[in-house]
Amino acid sequence: SLPIYPEFCVINCVFPSFAHHEEERPRPKPMVPQLAPPKIPEGERVDFDDIHRKRMEKDFLELQTLIDVHFEQRKKEEEELIGLKERIERRRSERAEQQRVRAEKERDRQTRIAEERQRKEDEEAKKRAEDEAKKKKVLSNMGANFGGFLAKAEQKRGKRLTGREIKRKTLSERRSPLGIDNLREDGLRQRAQEMWNWIHQLESEKFDLLDQMKRQKYEIVVLLNRISHAQKL
C-alpha cells in the first residue's frame, strides 16, 4: 500500500470528489512494447515513494493555482457586480432628481399660467366695468338732454298729456260707430269683412312700428359704441 501524504488530504478536503474521480475514472490500457526491463545498476535503489510524492506535490501546486485563479476571478466578478449595483443606484438617484426638477418646473409653469389667466380676467372685468360706467354716463347725459328737450316741447305745446290720455284720444279718433242695427245678413257679412280688413291693417302697422323701433334701438347702440370709442381716443 502507498503512504498517505498530507497534500493528498488537503486535496480531498478542498475538492472531495477529486481523489474519488481519479480513482473511478477508467484509464485506457497503454500498449506496452515487449521490451526487456531496464537493468538497475547494482548498488542503486529506485525510490518510488519519492517519485509519488513529487507527483502529488506537482498536482497539488496545479490545483492550488486553479483555486487561486478561481477565487481571483470570483473576486473580480464580485467587484464588477458591486460596481454595477452602484451605477444602477446612482442612475436611479439621477432619474429621481430629474423627475423632481421636471415636476417642480411643471408646477411653476402651471402657476404662471393660472396667474396670467387671472390677470387677464381682472383686466377684462375692469375694462367692462369702465365701459359700463361710460355708457351709463352717456345715457344719463342723453336722458338729461332729452328730458330738457321734452320740457321745452311741452312748454311750447301747453299741457302735457299722459300715456293713458294719449291712448284714449287715439282710440276716440280712430273708433267709429258700427251702425249695424238695420243691416241684414249680407250687410253684416260685409261689415265683418271691413272690420277684419281694418284689424289686419292695424296688425301690419303694429309690425312696422315694432320693426322701426328695433332699428332705432340698434342705431342707438351703434351711436353709443361710437361715442365710447371716441372717448377712448
List the chain domain ranges.
Answer: 6-23+49-109, 187-233
Kindly list the distances between the CA atom of residue 105 and the CA atoms of 92, 98, 100, in Å, as whole numbers in the listed order: 20, 11, 9
| Per-residue pLDDT in tens (0 to 9) along the chain, 233 residues | 444 444 444 444 444 444 444 444 555 554 544 545 545 455 556 677 788 888 888 888 888 889 889 999 999 999 999 999 999 999 999 999 999 999 999 999 999 999 999 999 999 999 888 888 887 776 666 555 555 555 555 555 555 556 677 766 666 666 666 666 677 778 778 878 887 888 888 888 888 888 888 888 888 888 888 887 777 76
Q: Is 52 exposed, middle or buried (0-12, 13-18, 19+ CB in 10 A)?
A: middle
Give the list of residues 6+ apart from residue 15 with CB closer than 8 angstroms, or none: 63
